[in-house]
Amino acid sequence: MSPAGLLSEFSYPLRHLTPLVTLVSFYLLWLLASGAGMLGIWLMIAILPAMLRYALRMLEARARGRDPAPPGVELFSLTSEAWSLFPLVHVALAIGVVGLADHLAGSGAVIVAGIFLAAVIPASFAVLVVTRSPLESLNPATLVRVIGKLGIDYWAAPAAVSLMLLLLNNVDLLPRWLHAFADLYLLFALFAVIGGVIRPHNLFAEVDIETPLETEPAKVLSDLERERTGILNHAYGFASRGNVEGALRHIKSWLRSDEPYPGDAWPWFFEAMLKWDESYPALKLAQSYLDVLLAAGEQRAAAKLMLRCRHIDERFRPSPESGDAAIAAAREAGNLELESWLTRA
């Protein structure tokens, strides 16, 4: 990763809407908790796991080259996805190693221990996100294999750790009300950098992990439904303010990066958007969905989609670049009425 790439990922949480809004939201919750006495302690117990989990979500999203989904209530649970709380153990171990080094050999050993930890902790976080296995994230053989796989690109992550620590040492220069915001930003920035480091290397598919964990099919479907719903809700926010194009861009960006075709993502979003107050955004998405079907040669599915859209609004038409292919699909499906409707001026 180049220095420009490192700075780009490090500044990512401030440059993109979803992580920035999430950062501000957690910051406001933190301020509320810090001034709420005993109630604030319980609120803090709920906030800390959510912040940690969102940081891991950001790491995975950046590793896959997309924006992290907006946070949901599941982030605040103390029982679900226990693996995502394991970075607390990493922090505890790091503090223990530094304390032991100081006790045994003084400040020189502390510096050596700090360099060692900065070098291996990013790899440990990456392995944790890839495998969902806390034990594997502490396996020295796996960490060495991952660092070797990433090569020279990996060392941008320890550089980000050093930059984060340097900036943390200067946080006291900021006004008190900015301390928590700076701390949260640096946490998210570090995890964004780690994700950016592993993104070009397809670590999820290529690294040989000794004991990969298999996710239950029902859990996979649940996670996918939750992620899609988050994307849909965010898009609705755009559309409700009159920015339909922004809503469509948000959905199609996720579709392109995850499962543009095959799969049921396009019809899932189409059916969900039909439940909105206005059918116009869903029909605009249907134009793009129709383009995908026609490009894939799915003529019968394309004909069915056009019939559905025509039933919703007689004024629906395919996008101009797909007009001829749409007529051919109607002809192939043997639906003369649909063909006539498409050729009608």
Q: What is the pLDDT of residues 134-184, one digit of tens each?
A: 888 888 888 888 888 888 888 888 888 888 777 777 766 667 667 778 888
pLDDT of residue 285: 92
The token pair that represents 325 in the structure block: 């292919």
Q: How far apart are CA 157 and CA 120, in angstroms?
A: 9
- Helices 37-63 and 87-105 meet at what angle, rounded to 10? 100
What mean pLDDT is reported for the chain?
Answer: 81
Can you give the three-state secondary structure of 146-209, one letter per residue? HHHHHHHHHHHHHHHHHHHHHHHCCHHHCCHHHHHHHHHHHHHHHHHHHHHHHHHHCHHHHCCC
For helices 323-332 and 299-312, give the axis angle rounded to 10 degrees.
100
Collapsing DSSP to helix, strand or coil, 86 comes out as: coil
Contacts of 316 (CB under 8 A, 6+ apart): 283, 286, 306, 309, 310
CA-based radius of gyration for the chain: 24
- Mean of pLDDT values over 244-271: 76
Q: How far apart are the first and last CA of the chain?
A: 54
Structure-block tokens of residue 309 = 């859209």
Please give the Cα distance from 239 to 248 (Å, whole number).
Answer: 9
pTM (2 decimals)?
0.56
